[in-house]
Structure 1
Amino acid sequence: MNLLEHLEELRIRLVVVGLSFLIIFMVFIAISPLAAQLLSKSTGIDFVTLHPAEAVIAYVRLALFLAVLAVMPIALYHLYLFIAPALRRAELRAALITLPFSVVMFYAGVLFGYAVIVRLGLPFLAMLSTRA
């Protein structure tokens, strides 16, 4: 493969990941009010908006965050498909073992962040802001 063929392959992979992100983002933008309610109930904190557009901006940010979380395995898979032709047999085997493990560890980190940072840190920060 020459350089232009590699760039075309990269472009196709990036378009697939980008379209996947857009589709997933549209789904999450539709359910972001429900996701915000679930987040509010799980932390026990009522979210307050001070400007009319602030609620919409918060829903869009939440949908973007959730879309990034959901599209990460797709992006890693297409990264693997892009680099797989350049790898030797032992490297392919290592990549096939590493790819699912990295997805599992990514979501384990997300769950840890939610359990520790959001569920413990957010109420603490809310308590500090109500004292002032």
Structure 2
Amino acid sequence: MKKKDLPLLDHLKELRVRLLRSFIGVIVVFLPLIFFSNNIYELASSPLQELMPENSSMIATQVASPFLSPLKLTFYLSLMISLPYFFSEMWRFIAPGLYKTEKRFALGLTLSSILLFYLGILFAYFLVFPLVFGFFTSVSPEGCKSHDRYLQLSRFYSHNFLSFCDCLRNSCFNFLTKLDRD
């Protein structure tokens, strides 16, 4: 029996195995990065801290914030690093059901999506975030001290990284769907 001729439950079992492997891949990346979570947070917060006015600082508004914020950023980073492994697991699940021409097209689309995902992260971190942080720190009223919160920064990064990655990836998808393959 061919792999693509398996019953639905067997396909679901294989999908479960692939998703479990992907989750284990995230954990394998996350565990060593835990030891560097404070360094990762410092690197992530450096564009903001460089632009903050004198006598301003990051504050913790919850007891666990100084502990949880670096861990959250480290987890997001481990998700980003393990993304190619996730895509390879999904590819191994999907590929047996595709024709040869579909495999070629889907492989190119997957590789370009991964590349654009990482380019979106770099674009946001090095170009957009310094401009955004510079704008917000420059428009604060006279006499208003800036005290940014730990958890807000990790939330800001997670939401905006995904937004920029989606913008680049979706523009690629839109371009590729408009191509006439005839």
Q: Would you say the 8 A contact 2:26–2:78 is kept in 1?
A: yes
Q: Would you say the 8 A contact 2:18–2:93 is kept in 1?
A: yes
* Cross-structure match for 2:74: 63
Corresponding letter in the other structure for 2:25: S
- 1:69-80 to 2 correspondences below 5 Å: 69-80=80-91
The structural deviation recorded for 1:116 is: 3.0
* Structure 1 Cα separation of the partners of residues 45 and 114 of structure 2: 27
Aligned residue pair count: 132
Aligned residues: CA RMSD: 2.0
Paired-residue identity, %: 28
* Structure 1 Cα separation of the partners of residues 90 and 100 of structure 2: 17
* Cross-structure match for 2:101: 90
TM-score (norm 1): 0.86
- 1:92-107 to 2 correspondences below 5 Å: 92-107=103-118
The structural deviation recorded for 1:67 is: 1.4
The structural deviation recorded for 1:122 is: 2.1
* Structure 2 Cα separation of the partners of residues 118 and 130 of structure 1: 21
Label 1:126 to 1:57 Cα distance change in 2 as closer, same or farther (>3 A): farther
TM-score (norm 2): 0.65
SS in 2 for 1:47: strand
* Cross-structure match for 1:117: 128
* Cross-structure match for 1:41: 46
Larger radius of gyration between Structure 1 and Structure 2? 2
The structural deviation recorded for 1:66 is: 0.6
* Structure 2 Cα separation of the partners of residues 10 and 130 of structure 1: 54
